[in-house]
Structure 1
């Protein structure tokens, strides 16, 4: 079990991580989502024992994880951090990169473990190639395989899917999910893209200016975000001032400047309802995302499978009042 207890870290009097606390259990995947500069990479470095905290502490199985100023070699032997840059050894093969992590084990077990990971991470066909001879997805899978080779208690991933094309994102995402379940490793990854977080994480946190402003299940964070920022970090959302709700056929007793949110899937095309003019249509594969102007101050996004919609076309929209969610600014 990994615990972060009121972690705080500043650089040049600017707080990168502010009073962050959470718990991560074996076999659990936690995702932390935040914009650039929200403190994601600094938090990972603190958790890995690679950066000293100004306040608070990290504990693994109730024992404090020391910072780099307290040990000869920074880091913790049971915590692995996979960086965005992979940090593979450039002049040895994929197989040798993975084998290096279990170099102190008996040869028979070392070969067994490396072969097992090559197969599970879909790297058998490229095991004899150098890192510069393989794709970005294969590099990422190699880095993760090396990180879990000696079965660490905690796996930390820094933007593990950000440099990958869609097919490789899906491969790496599914691989991480399977590895964590099979190895019962506690896994935390940070990302600025909630798509991957929503799909495989058991818990989802939102980071803003170094603070963990919300931590809950992905469904709860998506449906009931605490702020408009949290809503935007987890997907497309319509943000509406209370004073503009009457134009949408919804009454409200909230102050005029209060904010409410409604997801595009809760706005439907209808035969009657609020009139709107289509501004743009975005094809998303399984559906279209339609942006429509209701008034000078209100634009709504909705999802539909209806073909043939065009900019300039007048449509009618219905909102599900039960799906409206009020948030802080």
Structure 2
């Protein structure tokens, strides 16, 4: 449905996007994760036709998406971008904000569709309030409802979870999942691209996950593959808690060494287990996470690992033994 081929965009002497290629199929969710300044927002603007690419092209259903230099009104009729700042009209109600996106439709359908969207986005109770009278989560859902009002093919979201508390993050996450999977009442399928610097929510709802760094898309694949098999230390850190150590320290964990002592090894906390047959270490820190504890265990002067446990009898300073299965160690590119 949507394809980008070797997109490049430079601002003065900074290459914000560098030769990015990707494709998105109907009814799918893609998440792009990266640190601030990695080019995520610029890429969204290129995909939406709101910025001109220096090189490369974007196509929607095989038709080229043109930039603002080629059209009177920037943007594409079948692509919607929800900005991080929501960009709602401040002095009209939530209902009127959504209705504005349907201003070219007949009144009867407009009212029907607005009622449908208010229900879908859980906004019925606040429909008569203006944006400053509602919560951040309600503003975000209003912006999403307005974006999908005329059933676009592509929905692009810039940091949709960044301003939200945990309950609202879960509501917005579930809304996006339901919207794509259930087709929000339309006859076609909406696809979605989310950009974020936090992979926690992206991992749970995305069909594909891309890692961006310095304007490049350095890895893309299923969330499970990218999480379990990151290609670089940066990709590993961007997708969740991780232990990264040099291969020369593997014998400390009773694991076989490699021929390259400077090679990096990735170990997720859940891959490390308390085991009386393992290596000895001391608990340096302990963090309660609700359903489990996160332990920071020091094995040597150079090796300190984080692991997860449901045991509640642990305490700082306690000696423990930990084990890592050899097949759990994942070697990273330098």
Instruction: Using structure 2 for the length normalisation, give the TM-score.
Output: 0.97
Q: 1:182: Cα distance to partner?
A: 2.1
SS in 2 for 1:273: strand
CA RMSD in angstroms, aligned pairs only = 0.7
Instruction: List per-residue Cα deviations over 1:242-292 (Å, max 9, x = no partner).
Output: 111111111123301001111111100112310111111111111111011
Instruction: List per-residue Cα deviations over 1:24-48 (Å, max 9, x = no partner).
Output: 1111000000001100000001101
Distance in 2, Cα, partners of 1:77 & 1:200: 26
Matched, 1:20 2:25: no
How many residues align? The count is 329
In the alignment, which residue of structure 1 is the partner of 2:38? 38
Q: Which runs of 5+ in 1 are unaligned?
A: none
Q: 1:211: Cα distance to partner?
A: 0.5
Distance in 1, Cα, partners of 2:317 & 2:12: 51
Matched, 1:277 2:282: yes
Q: 2:326 aligns with which of 321, 325, 328?
A: 321
Distance in 2, Cα, partners of 1:111 & 1:181: 24
In the alignment, which residue of structure 1 is the partner of 2:186? none
Q: Which runs of 5+ in 2 are unaligned?
A: 184-188
In the alignment, which residue of structure 2 is the partner of 1:215? 220
CA contact (8 A) 2:242 2:266 kept: yes
In the alignment, which residue of structure 2 is the partner of 1:260? 265
SS in 2 for 1:170: helix
In the alignment, which residue of structure 2 is the partner of 1:48? 48
CA contact (8 A) 2:83 2:158 kept: yes
- Write out the 4+ residue segments of structure 1 that deviate beyond 4 Å after TM superposition: none
Q: 1:304 aligns with which of 306, 309, 323?
A: 309
Matched, 1:249 2:265: no
Q: 1:12: Cα distance to partner?
A: 1.3
Matched, 1:171 2:176: no
Distance in 2, Cα, partners of 1:256 & 1:92: 63
Distance in 2, Cα, partners of 1:328 & 1:251: 19
Distance in 2, Cα, partners of 1:158 & 1:254: 43
SS in 2 for 1:255: coil
Distance in 2, Cα, partners of 1:188 & 1:280: 38
SS in 2 for 1:291: strand
Distance in 2, Cα, partners of 1:240 & 1:177: 36
In the alignment, which residue of structure 2 is the partner of 1:78? 78
Distance in 1, Cα, partners of 2:11 & 2:103: 37
